[in-house]
């Protein structure tokens, strides 16, 4: 089932795979993604896809797109290069002039990308104490899903955590964004 949420200049297309039950309303996840997209400097108006799935689908995607075996909690599929977004701590400074997305016909929104979350893994991580930013937090499945939606959206906006400085900045931004909801 797919549902479009219109939140200001944003359209969040939420797809709930068969058999998946989210402990967080789609509108709450959409609002978390909008906050992250705005903080990441994504163009607006724009659309973002959110797919709520399970470990089996994430394992297939993880292997096909990242060459890693097994499932993961969240995957992001950006459609714009990191150079489309403002620089941030830890990001490459060699972007030069920031290109903007090409113009679209009136009434059309650029699509920033898609975030796919394993609700199954989010629930398990939260309940077993392997959630949060450190992988050592025990908190509600709802909080874990909101973090993953925020985290995945920041990835769409060119954020990463391979570099220590960028990871620290990304984690701090996630905490600020989650506190605002």
Residue 151 confidence (pLDDT): 96
**What contacts 42, CB < 8 A, 6 or more positions away?**
48, 85, 112, 156, 157
Cα 181 to its chain centre, rounded Å, is 15
Residue 136 lies in a domain: yes
Task: Read off the pLDDT of residues 113-164 as tens digits, 9 standing for 90 and up.
Answer: 999 999 999 999 998 887 777 677 778 999 999 999 999 999 999 998 888 8
Residue 94 confidence (pLDDT): 46
Residue 97 lies in a domain: no
Instruction: Decide if 133 contacts 117 (C-beta within 8 A).
Output: no
Residue 100 confidence (pLDDT): 60
Kindly indicate the confidence band of residue 37, based on its pLDDT and cuts at 50, 70 and 90. Answer: very high
Q: What is the mean pLDDT of residues 53-61?
A: 96
Domain that holds residue 77: 2-83+109-180
Q: Is the pTM of this model over 0.85?
A: yes
Residue 89 lies in a domain: no
Residue 78 confidence (pLDDT): 95
CATH number of the structural domain spanning residue 153: 3.40.390.30
Residue 97 confidence (pLDDT): 52
Cα 6 to its chain centre, rounded Å, is 17
Instruction: Decide if 9 contacts 44 (C-beta within 8 A).
Output: yes
How many folded domains does the chain comprise?
Answer: 1
Q: What is the mean pLDDT of residues 55-82?
A: 93
pLDDT at 30 over 90: yes
Measured between alpha carbons, how far apart are the two ends of the chain, in Å? Answer: 25
Residue 87 confidence (pLDDT): 82
Lowest mean pLDDT among 57-61, 101-105, 165-169: 101-105
Residue 98 lies in a domain: no
Residue 104 lies in a domain: no
Residue 31 CA to residue 6 CA, distance in Å, equals: 10
Q: Which helix (H) or strand (E) holds 111?
A: strand 111-118
pLDDT at 17 over 50: yes
Residue 33 CA to residue 13 CA, distance in Å, equals: 11
Residue 102 lies in a domain: no
Residue 78 lies in a domain: yes
Task: Read off the pLDDT of residues 72-123 as tens digits, 9 standing for 90 and up.
Answer: 999 999 998 888 888 887 776 544 455 566 666 677 789 999 999 999 999 9
Residue among 152, 145, 140, 147 at smallest CA distance from 175: 147
Residue 52 lies in a domain: yes
């Amino acid at each position: 089932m797919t549902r479009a949420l219109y939140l200001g200049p944003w359209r969040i297309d939420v797809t709930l795979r068969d058999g998946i039950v989210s402990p967080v309303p789609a509108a709450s996840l959409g609002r978390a993604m909008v906050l992250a997209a705005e903080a990441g400097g994504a163009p607006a108006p724009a659309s973002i896809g959110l797919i709520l799935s399970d470990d089996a689908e994430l394992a297939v995607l993880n292997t096909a797109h990242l060459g890693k075996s097994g499932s993961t909690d969240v995957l992001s599929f950006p459609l714009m290069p990191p150079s489309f977004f403002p620089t941030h701590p830890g990001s490459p400074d060699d972007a030069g002039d920031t290109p903007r997305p090409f113009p679209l016909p009136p009434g059309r929104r650029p699509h920033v990308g898609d975030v796919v979350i394993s609700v199954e893994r989010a629930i398990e991580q939260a309940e077993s104490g392997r959630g949060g930013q450190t992988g050592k937090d025990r908190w509600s499945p709802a909080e874990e899903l909101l973090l993953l939606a925020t985290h995945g959206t920041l990835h769409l906006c060119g954020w990463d955590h391979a570099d220590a400085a960028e990871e620290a900045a990304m984690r701090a931004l996630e905490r600020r964004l989650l506190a605002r909801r």
